[in-house]
Amino acid sequence: MKIVVSGINANLRFSSAHIIPTHNFCGHIHGHSYFVDVEIEGEQSGDFDFVVDFGDVKDSVREHCRELDHRILIPIFNKKIEFKSSGHKNIDLDFFKNKKYLEFNIQEKEYKIPKVDAVILPLKHSSAEELAKYFAERVAEDILSEEKHISTIQIGVNEGIGQGAFFKKIL
Ligand SMILES: [Zn+2]
């Protein structure tokens, strides 16, 4: 059995800015009005014979949409983003803990962005593909503690109508 939640109809959306470093078109700061589709396969179980409660799925996805909404998405493991590191070799989430600004170069371009305007993501890219994986991991963490009969979680991150990346996490 499979349940499907349509992001555009169920209001699982966020609007964010991002950059795909060095890409000739997407290398400039730009934004998308994203929406997130979800498909979950599994056995029916529990008191109501649900695969999973639609409300739990929507709560999870909506919360993660909210975290990204109206921010610029910065993937900290991108090799083309050179953070001003003052000697640090490894950039990780801790590196940004006490910083007020994200300061980095992408080739000859220099950026300084208030941290409150950004979301620091432990990803290589802020592409639809990587965001789909990111959402799949987060949603799995949220719903698997209660739901034991789920076999796959597929997330589609759409950068608008007609353009999205779909990742299926097999459990
Ligand atoms: Zn884009």
Domain boundaries defined on the chain: 2-80+118-170
- The matching CATH number, chosen from 3.60.70.12, 1.10.287.110, 3.30.479.10, 1.10.3720.10, for 2-80+118-170 is 3.30.479.10
Coil/strand/helix, residue 152: strand
Centre of ligand 1 to C-alpha 44, Å, is 37
| Residues 127-149 pLDDT 10s | 999 999 999 999 999 998 666 79
Q: The pTM is what?
A: 0.95
Centre of ligand 1 to C-alpha 74, Å, is 12
Q: How do 118-121 and 72-75 pair as beta strands?
A: parallel
Residue type, 38: V
Q: At what angle do helices 54-68 and 128-144 cross, to 10 degrees?
A: 130
* Candidates 23, 28, 30, 70; catalytic one: 70
Q: What is the overall mean pLDDT for the chain?
A: 94
* Percentage of the residues of the chain whose pLDDT score is greater than 90: 88
Centre of ligand 1 to C-alpha 31, Å, is 6
In the annotation, is 70 catalytic? yes
| Residues 81-136 pLDDT 10s | 999 976 666 788 889 999 999 999 999 999 999 999 999 999 999 999 999 999 99
